[in-house]
Amino acid sequence: MGLLSKLFGEKEQKRTMDGPQANRSDGYTITLHTKYEEPEVPELQGDYAKAVFLYAVGNASPIKAKGEYARYFLYECGIRDGSAYHRKLITDGYLRESSIDEVLYAQKLTDLKPLLSSLGLPVSGKKEVLVERLLSNTDEAFLRSKFTGKTYTLSEKGRKFLDEHKAYVKLHQHRVWDIDWKEFDACKRPGLSDNDVIWSILNKRVSKSATYGRNEYLCMYQLLVEEKEKSDALEMLLRVIYIDVSGIEGLNYLKLYKDGLYPTKDAKEIFNVSVMLAPGLINDIIKYADVYDDAMVDRLYRWKLPINICSKESFLYLIHSNIDGTFDEDAFLADLKREFYRVIRKMK
């Protein structure tokens, strides 16, 4: 993504020769036109669209104006008119008018406390306590008069539908996994859980990955975290970090260096893009201190990558020092840089 895209949003921007003009102090005139390219809108995505929409609006949500719905309903689900789609789901029985307690639970504490205060009731406690206090001390007609907007909540039919299609919601929540619902459905087999299907899709992608499965293993790690499989999750996390610090990202550049297309100075600069320390992943290590064992690293280092500038000793330091809070990132990277330079020297 270019700098302009980062500054002005995710949409791609193109420069053309027509558009508004800006006069420069040197007498020249710059003509710049920014053109936004909208993503392609898919066809309505069937039950996937329905599941994603119900999940989003199923908790005491009002019908909004057409343009007020989240953009992903259009670009991910193919729902061109959110308002009309919302009304259809109500007509079809997936949503019903919210009960007064559902209306109250959907409010913010900042909305409930002033009402309690105006009635001379205590404002302390969690939301559940405040809602129960209002329900016990007032009648429904009074509360309806204070929260006049009509809202809709999942009906039993809607809850059943969502339960049957919860995998679609998971795919929506984890769009970074890049698993299309059609691919998911094509891979479903009797006896396989939703997570088994997702795992099999990711596992098939590993052999085709240009980064030796790095991103797929990260998705698997996230899946194992959700399954609360701590030991397996840690081993998958270590696999991702192992790839990140191996220098594998610079392998293609090193091949060019070996072929004489890169001078040594440029080859050394490759280190800066060859090693990645993702703070979120590194910091996650401490969460698994209770299940960590050095045998995990022994097993990991049996997996030989085409290049690995991080010795087992350095990797063990990375883990142990993160667990005990003594990790020195600069020292760690300096050690990897020395090994990277040694690899370069051996290539000549």
The DSSP element (H or E) to which 63 belongs, if any, is none
Task: Tell me which residue has tokens 């980062």.
Answer: 6
Q: What's the DSSP call for residue 179?
A: -
E-assigned strand segments in the chain: 13-23, 29-36, 95-97, 152-154
CB within 8 Å of 294: residues ≥ 6 apart: 316
pLDDT of residue 35: 60
Task: Tell me which residue has tokens 């859980």.
Answer: 193
Strand, coil or helix: 94: coil
E-assigned strand segments in 1-83: 13-23, 29-36
The residue-averaged pLDDT of 216-228 equals: 97
pLDDT of residue 25: 41
The residue-averaged pLDDT of 269-281 equals: 89
What is the Cα–Cα distance from 79 to 214, expressed in whole angstroms? 34
Strand, coil or helix: 208: coil
Token pair of 38 as six digits: 């909208």
pLDDT of residue 345: 84
Q: What's the DSSP call for residue 125?
A: S
pTM of the model: 0.79
What is the Cα–Cα distance from 340 to 247, expressed in whole angstroms? 8
The residue-averaged pLDDT of 110-135 equals: 93
The residue-averaged pLDDT of 275-290 equals: 94
pLDDT of residue 33: 52
| Position 26 pLDDT exceeds 60 | no
Lowest-pLDDT range, 218-232, 246-260, 304-318? Answer: 246-260
In terms of pLDDT, which residue wins out, 347 or 88?
Answer: 88
In terms of pLDDT, which residue wins out, 335 or 273?
Answer: 335
pLDDT of residue 313: 97
Residue 306 contacts residue 242 (beta carbons within 8 Å): no
Phi-psi region of 104 (alpha: psi -120 to 50; beta: other; left: phi over 0): alpha
pLDDT of residue 19: 39
pLDDT of residue 5: 35
The rounded percent of the chain whose pLDDT value lies above 70 is: 89
CB within 8 Å of 220: residues ≥ 6 apart: 199, 202, 203, 236
pLDDT of residue 36: 61
What is the Cα–Cα distance from 34 to 16, expressed in whole angstroms? 7
The residue-averaged pLDDT of 121-144 equals: 92
Q: Supply the mean pLDDT for the chain.
A: 88
Query: In angstroms, what CA-CA distances link 25 with 29, 30, 206, 227?
Result: 9, 11, 55, 62
